[in-house]
Amino acid sequence: MADAPSDTTALDPPRRPAGEIIVTGERVPRTIRQTPSSVVVIDEAAIEAASADRLDQVLDLVPNVQAGSGEEGAAIRGQDSTGLLRNLFAFLGGTRPRVTVQIDGRPVTYYEYVASSAPLWDVERVEVWRSPQTTTQGRNSVAGAIFIETADPAFEWEGKGRAIIGGIGTRQVSALVSGPVVADQVALRVSGDLRLGRMASDMADGIAGADIDRDDYGILRAKLLFTPTALPGTRIETSFVHTESQAPQFEAVRIPFEERRDPVPERTNGIHRVNVDSVTARLHHEAGAALAGDVTLSFGDAQVRRFGLPGLGQTHVDSHDYSVEGILHWQPRDASLSLLAGINHITTRQVQTIDITGLGVGAGQFRDRQASLGLFGEATWRPAERIAITGGLRYQTDRQQRAGLVGTPPAGFALDYDGRFDGWLPKLSLAVDIAPGTTVGAMIQRAYNPGGTSISLVRRAQDDFGQETLWNRELFARSTFAGGRGIVAVNLFRSSIRDAQRQQLVQIQLPGGTPFFAPEFENAPRARTQGFELEAGYRFGERLSLRGAFGLLGTRVLETLLPLDPTLGRQFQRSPRVSAAASADWQPVQPVRLSATIRHHGAYFSDDANTPALVVPSATVVDARGSWAIGRANVFAYARNLFDRFHMTYLFDLRFGTAADPRELGIGIEARI
């Protein structure tokens, strides 16, 4: 923006007043005040204060983001990040999520995001982008993006260990060590986190091969940093990561819900076991005072098994993903113009097997290949000291090839799909510094998500759907004050969606010519989302900080394929109109630290038809944490859902749904070297 100093190199953080936060999700390091998009940053201190051990627990703290219930991702501004397809249909079609999740530069696969856990041990920050990110990220980001950046190796020795014991069977041990291998050139950081727990609900287990009561994960990460003295301005970082997790597809409860029981094995539930090995390399090189380049390479090998009742969805997924991205930054010293250009390619290959003989279909296999290519650029022009105009453009092309057979006709079905989609995605923003530390402006952008396919169980046939596009318009304001101790960020947004990917009522001709109406995966001609987001924080000296956030959201399906569609004029599911969060972090005396968070969401529907019986009531939850520093160690205690507030998170029907966890109390110790 207008206040960015001209002598900042392309990927060096811009100079800023103390207390301002740098974000990197849009490929250029910027302060939040310089960022038009709506973004919330949860740093290491906030993660610790919230006693959060995984990604979905920090998403609970972000207004206009409704965390998923186990078998789906979060809904961001009402848009389900899982995509149009869920559970069985996601498997049959090879899903198209609406949100990309990147960890240290690698875009994770659908199953890692939805069916696994993203641990937060040794994480530097989490960036949650609520504005569409297709122009900068490409596929699977029409509803936003989530970036997780873990801590980097350092050239000074550092070590840390932590042990936790808590309710709901929680047992957790974590450790890290970091230090130089070659002075000032090579550093290594190794971290590990193992958490064992059980589910809060008592679910009947009739599934062989895995325990439905377990909620376990583990991660081992090694990061190598190389800054060769022979190549000044060069930085190479390589990450090797192994993760394992096991948990039920969702945590079911039946009426009376407060008893947290599901006494009969549930046909639609299963247990996911996910094992992933990945490697990511990031290269940054400064070719002079004005030119710098970045290259990111990643590879992932994911093995996913779903254990289910006999013939009801035993699956195996063998997935491999590859990505490469190159970016050039040109930012001359004392110039009013800076440029960025890049190319991105992602390929995912999957071999999937499934057994659904219990549904009268059979067993079979699918082969799936998805490839995406994006060419993008961005220019920022400063015609005056206080004005910045930024324009971006991306050409994105996506292709999915999927073929397979389950069972044999007429009970079974075959799928042979080759879908190609592309789009030109412009973005334009204007920012004006109206006062020192205060910026206001406007942004408009076009975003899209590719189409896809699945299976219609009514027609026993392939069920294709097209791409969805939207125009997003936002007004924004950012202000820092009191020497960086205070910050306010506001976004007012409206997104007009064309060909929204949703279940739609369509007319089907039965044998003999009889018309029949059934829900299928289709594109609703028009829909919209609109709302408001506010975040404010203030640090009172060194001992007390307060932060609050608030969101308003309105969603609506404006036009459907048929006028009798029950979703016409209805809200999107999982889109509460009001959500809010607040936190306090206080150090009354030197060794003591107390923190608390409160989060609230309004009522929302569990289906797009807005069935009154499937309303999830509003809920307010309080979490708390206290710690005592003893030398290099910290002893701490925490309470999640401090007042044991029972609330549902999703209703499949009147008698069956999912509930949030009850109160969890825990104690732990953490020591640093």
Dihedral of the alpha carbons of 611, 614, 617, 618, in degrees to the nearest 10: -70
pLDDT of residue 512: 67
pLDDT tens-digit readout, 312-337 = 999 999 999 999 999 999 998 878 99
Are 449 and 468 in contact, with CB atoms under 8 Å apart?
A: yes
pLDDT, average across residues 227-234 = 95
Query: Residue 449: is its pLDDT beyond 90?
Result: yes
Q: H-helix or E-strand containing 634? A: strand 633-640
Looking at the domain assignment, is residue 642 inside a domain? yes
Q: Does a structural domain hold residue 233?
A: no
Q: What is the C-alpha to C-alpha distance for residues 464 and 453, in angstroms, rounded to an integer?
A: 4
Share of the chain above pLDDT 70, in %: 96
pLDDT of residue 389: 98
Within-domain flag for 231: no
- Residue 139: the pLDDT is 86
Region 107-132: what's the mean pLDDT?
93
In a domain, 276, yes or no: no
Instruction: State the pLDDT at residue 13.
Output: 38
Per-position DSSP letters for 35-54, written without gaps between them:
--S-EEEEEHHHHHHTT--B
Per-residue confidence (pLDDT) for residue 11, from 0 to 100: 36
pLDDT at residue 280 tops 70: yes
The Cα 220–Cα 409 span in angstroms is 46
CATH number at residue 522: 2.40.170.20
pLDDT digits (tens, 9 = 90+) for 35-44: 999 999 999 9
- pLDDT of res. 335: 82
598 found inside a domain: yes
Question: What secondary structure, in 3-state letters, does 426-446 show?
Answer: EEEEEEEEEECCEEEEEEEEE
Q: Residue 388 falls within a domain, yes or no? A: yes
Sheet of 100-103: strand order equals 39-43, 123-129, 145-150, 100-103, 106-107
**Structure confidence at residue 411 (pLDDT):** 78
**pLDDT given for residue 19 in this prediction:** 52
- Number of structural domains (the chain) is 1
Highest mean pLDDT among 69-73, 90-94, 522-526: 522-526
In this prediction, residue 6 carries a pLDDT of: 32
Per-residue pLDDT at 68: 83
Q: Are the C-beta atoms of residues 248 and 287 closer than 8 Å to each other?
A: no
pLDDT at 166 over 60: yes
Least confident of 11-20, 140-149, 230-239, 283-292: 11-20
The pLDDT score that the predictor gives to residue 239 is 98
Evaluate if residue 70 carries a pLDDT over 80: no
Residue 459 is predicted with a pLDDT of: 81
- Answer yes or no: is pLDDT of 1 > 70: no
26, 27, 98 from 376: Cα distances, Å = 12, 11, 19
What would the mean pLDDT of 477-485 be, rounded to a whole number?
94
Does some domain include residue 273?
no
Which of the four pLDDT bands, split at 50, 70 and 90, describes residue 16?
very low
Per-residue pLDDT at 20: 66
Characterize the bridge pairing of strands 619-630 and 592-601: antiparallel
Range of the domain at 655: 22-151+199-212+248-265+287-672
Task: Give residue 452's pLDDT.
Answer: 95
**Distance, CA of 533 to CA of 121 (rounded, Å):** 28
Model confidence pLDDT, tens digit, residues 535-558: 999 999 989 999 999 999 999 999
pTM of the model: 0.94
30 vs 375 pLDDT, higher one: 375
157: number of Cβ within 10 Å: 11
pLDDT digits (tens, 9 = 90+) for 617-659: 999 999 999 999 999 999 999 999 999 999 999 999 999 999 9
- The pLDDT value recorded for residue 511 is 65
Render the burial of 361-375: b for 16+ CB within 10 Å, e for the rest.
bbebebebebbbbbe
- pLDDT for res 518: 75
In a domain, 165, yes or no: no
Residue recorded with tokens 């050039």: 328
Q: Under 8 Å CB-to-CB from 10, ≥6 apart: which residues?
A: 28, 286, 291, 292, 329, 330, 331
Q: What's residue 4's pLDDT?
A: 34
